[in-house]
Amino acid sequence: MIVPTGTADILLRTEGRAGFITLNRPRALNALTHPMVLAVDAALTAWEHDPAVHTVVIEGAGERGLCAGGDIRAIHDDARAGGTASEAFWRDEYRLNARIARYPKPYVALMDGIVMGGGVGVSAHGSVRVVTERSRVAMPETGIGFVPDIGGTHLLGRAPGELGTHLALTGSPVGAADAILTGLADHYVPAAELPALVEDLTRLPARDAVARHAAAAPPGVLAEQREWIDTCYRAEIVETVVERLFDTGAPAAKEAATTLLTRSPSALKATLATLRRSRSLATLEEVLDLEFRVSCAALTTPDLVEGIRAQVVDKDRNPRWTPATLPEVTDEAVARHFTAPAGGDLGLAAARRAAEDQGPRTGA
């Protein structure tokens, strides 16, 4: 059945033992809006307490992908106007990301096609994450003057070696095998098998359903590149990373260095600093609190507006970054990303600790 949600951009249905969330903005590659985030959260609330729903499945409408991220045109307009809509959106989006990670029922993400930014947030924190040969998974924020968020630095910071650092800084997309290798996904299912998988999810436990269709993913590329990636990205400053990439002699490393020189210098330095900090944090909630500070700080910098203008609004693919080079980005400028925003911190970690201290409540 179709359940009203208050937004046509989210379709909900229950079938058999499963509840299905369909992101329904195919012309916008299912980019997330604030009402969509609230609708997904409301569905999770309803189904968490519905004994008939044993599994939750999230999928994308259309054939291009699950979700290309947040609605960055709206963020662009809000940042230009000095508004607060983006901060309000992130507060609810990051809370949703944390909720997905701790959802008490199997949460199956069908990560077919393009899965980027906020799309990773509503999928890669789930308990059962399925990719196909069409999957292209990425955190491409440095290309728009932004920093990986939605818990992205938590996920990438825990990838083997420095693979996550490479993906966070370059924003490069990965296919199925590399998504599994880096911890962004769990299972490979051929795209042709997805309809049968969906049918099985309506009548079988989630892991049993996936096991019926899972296969070995086509080979990726990151495992073979691990040696130079770990060597180069172990550096503590981005300039050294770039120098090492150019010096290795590996064509793929040179390509990565060339890519980095097209990204926002400020975003690159803030991303590396955020990744290093997130690795020392124990929980996703702590990382989301950190990322919220960084995201709000990005709203006050010129590069976010300029990056979205160049990539999405005017599409000239020629951003003019400020500052224009890595050496011009000072330590003080990076440090400003970690100060509390004017609207206050997110407070997810504190809320979780308070809930744990309170313990389970019993009815009268």
Residues marked as catalytic:
70, 118, 141, 149
Distance (Å, whole) CA 136 – CA 173: 5
Instruction: Output the CA–CA distances (angstroms, integers) from residue 198 to 2, 214, 219, 304, in the order listed.
Output: 16, 13, 25, 38
Three-class DSSP category at 68: coil
Exposure of 140 by Cβ count < 10 A (0-12 exposed, 13-18 middle, 19+ buried)? buried
Determine contact, residues 97/125, Cβ cutoff 8 Å: yes
Strands (E), the chain: 10-15, 18-23, 55-60, 65-67, 107-111, 114-116, 128-131, 136-138, 187-188
Phi, then psi, of 157 in degrees rounded to 5: -65, -15
Three-class DSSP category at 115: strand
Mention every residue, 6+ apart, whose C-beta is less than 8 A from residue 37: 89, 92, 93, 96
Determine contact, residues 17/53, Cβ cutoff 8 Å: yes
Residue 10 β-bridge partners: 23
Give the DSSP H or E segment for 167.
Answer: helix 163-170
